[in-house]
């Protein structure tokens, strides 16, 4: 089954924001918005749910500090205790002030690297993946709003022209 979508192209981010609000007010379903740079407030205007990536970052940081604690305890206390700089190696707690920089760095390392992997997986950005950008101009200076077409094509085209679109196309999607 094929369905049609409308590609409304804008050349100003403020006009795009007003068009997104008008489109949502008219109860059209916005499939996607392609922009050459992040537009502040666009996610709220589109009605997208808040991101949960911050929760993932916290959990990855907890994994990092846990791994660092386990690693330093096993290496420096259990497996190969050494007297470095006069610091006793009887217990982890006694040596913990010396381990704080390592714990911090491992927390940041885990959070940063696992967040990048999570972002790529969540965004479905795999190596060698073909670009899904419907119009090349959206990587330079134009904004594209892809809207599911319901009802009359003529009414929809005139609606999007009235929102400030410089170009409106009806495309068949497979």
CB of 9 closer than 8 Å to CB of 135: yes
Domain ranges for the chain, please list them: 3-36+141-173, 53-122
CB of 146 closer than 8 Å to CB of 34: yes
pTM to 2 decimal places: 0.71
pLDDT of residue 109: 97
Burial of 12 (0-12, 13-18, 19+ CB in 10 A): middle
pLDDT above 60: residue 2: no
pLDDT tens-place string over residues 143-162: 999 999 888 889 999 999 99
Read off the tokens for 17: 């924001």
Cα dist from 54 to 41, 94, 112, 115, 133, whole Å: 18, 33, 11, 9, 27
Mean pLDDT of the chain: 89
pLDDT of residue 80: 80
pLDDT tens-place string over residues 85-137: 776 667 778 778 888 999 999 999 999 999 999 989 988 888 888 888 888 88
pLDDT above 50: residue 1: no
Nearest CA to 162 among 15, 11, 5, 13? 15
How many angstroms separate the CA atoms of 95 and 42, rounded? 49
pLDDT of residue 95: 78
pLDDT tens-place string over residues 28-63: 999 999 999 999 999 999 999 988 888 999 999 999
The helix (H) or strand (E) run that includes residue 68 is helix 53-72
Residues linked to residue 144 through DSSP beta bridges, in sequence order: 9, 34
DSSP 71-96: HHIIIIIII----BTTB--S-HHHHH
* Percent residues over pLDDT 90 in the chain: 59
Burial of 147 (0-12, 13-18, 19+ CB in 10 A): buried
- Residue 47, SS3 per DSSP: coil
Domain 3-36+141-173, CATH = 3.30.70.120
């Amino acid at each position: 089954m094929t369905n049609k979508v409308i590609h409304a192209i804008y050349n100003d981010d403020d006009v795009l924001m007003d068009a997104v609000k008008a489109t949502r007010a008219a109860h059209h379903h916005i499939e996607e918005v392609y922009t050459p740079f992040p537009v502040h407030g666009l996610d709220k205007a589109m009605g997208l749910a808040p991101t949960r990536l911050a929760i993932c970052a916290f959990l990855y940081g907890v994994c990092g500090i846990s791994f660092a604690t386990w690693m330093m305890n096993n290496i420096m206390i259990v497996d190969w205790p050494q007297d470095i700089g006069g610091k006793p190696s009887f217990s982890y707690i006694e040596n913990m002030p010396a381990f704080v920089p390592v714990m911090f760095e491992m927390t940041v390392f885990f959070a940063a690297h696992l967040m990048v992997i999570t972002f790529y997986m969540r965004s479905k950005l795999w190596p060698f993946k073909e670009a899904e950008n419907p119009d090349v101009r959206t990587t330079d200076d134009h904004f594209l709003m892809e809207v599911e077409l319901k009802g009359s094509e003529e009414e929809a085209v005139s609606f999007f022209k009235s929102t400030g679109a410089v170009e409106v196309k009806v495309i068949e999607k497979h």
